[in-house]
Amino acid sequence: MNEELLTDAVLREFLLGRLDDEERARIESLFLTDSEAREKVLVIEQELIEDYLEDNLPAEDKQEFLLRYGQTAAQWQQLRITEAIKNWALKENAAVRTVPTEVSTWDRLRTRLWLRPAFVIPIAVAAMVAIIVAGIWLNSGMKRATLEQELAQLNTPASLREVPAQTVLLELSPIVVRSAQPQAELKKSADTRLVELHLPWVQKERYATYRAEVHRVGGGELLSIPNLKAETDGRYQIRARLPAYILTRGQYLVKLSGIDLGGAAGITEEYTFTVDD
């Protein structure tokens, strides 16, 4: 890992989307290939989220933060859960300092043990998560189900035979063979409705179906598209369609796995692209 490149200050600028294309590309490459670099990016990201929740970000940083971490319902839910857990833990820790004095030695010892952070925080976290999940489960579950249904419909053989208007085609190359080729970049317009990924399969093994998993580097909802079929017209490739509205600015990683007749995952190819809207 390049310690000089991955300073805390540089990573915060990266997470807030302020680096130039060359620096951003170098960090994204390290994120994908270096486990230590990936861990450090995630640590700095968590610190950035905590600074936002504690209102320690300057106004400009807060605006950039919300542009990158507050655009989807899933991101807002994650922020609310994190904030609620922190608030609950702070309240329970404050209770340690308010234990009644006129109690028996045994009660005092039991209270101290019960209110120690080691006991309180895990219980508080579990309770708060249960409360919040109970409140948002139906809403988020319905949204997730709707999105999965939309993805499945967009990627049926019948749908893929048609090319609707406002569809942008994006040719990707596997990471292992891309070498010096420039990374694919998606430039959306206000009219862009669908994004179609073309994923060439360079492995010798062939599978009955394929599953594509798409997620945004540094946060975002994992999108899974099962039951994709390969096409052999000219070259062996898999096509996968996504609604444009779910792709926000940033770096994306696509994992394409072959699925055998028994339903088990086989070889996986990886692809990357960026979205600049």
Tokens 């579950």 correspond to 141
Domain at 164-275: CATH code: 2.60.40.10
> Percentage of residues in the chain with pLDDT exceeding 90?
25
> Percentage of residues in the chain with pLDDT exceeding 70?
69
Which pLDDT tens digit goes with each residue over 47-87?
888 888 888 888 888 888 887 776 665 565 666 666 666 56
pLDDT over 70 (residue 34): yes
Mean pLDDT lowest among 43-52, 114-123, 147-156, 236-245 = 114-123
The domain spans of the chain are: 8-69, 73-154, 164-275
pLDDT of residue 138: 45
The Cα–Cα gap between 204 and 201 comes to: 8
pLDDT of residue 226: 92
pLDDT of residue 194: 93
pLDDT over 90 (residue 88): no
Nearest partner of 64 among 19, 30, 104, 22, judged by Cα:
19
The Cα–Cα gap between 119 and 74 comes to: 30
Burial of 140-165, coded b for 16+ CB within 10 Å and e otherwise, reads eeebeeebeeebeebbeeeebeeeee
pLDDT of residue 87: 60
Using CB atoms within 10 Å of the CB of residue 35, give its burial: 0 to 12 exposed, 13 to 18 middle, 19+ buried: exposed
Ordered alpha helix ranges (H), 116-216: 117-154, 157-160, 175-178
239 compared with 141, residue with greater pLDDT = 239
pLDDT over 80 (residue 175): yes
Which pLDDT tens digit goes with each residue over 92-124?
556 555 555 555 555 554 554 444 444 444 444
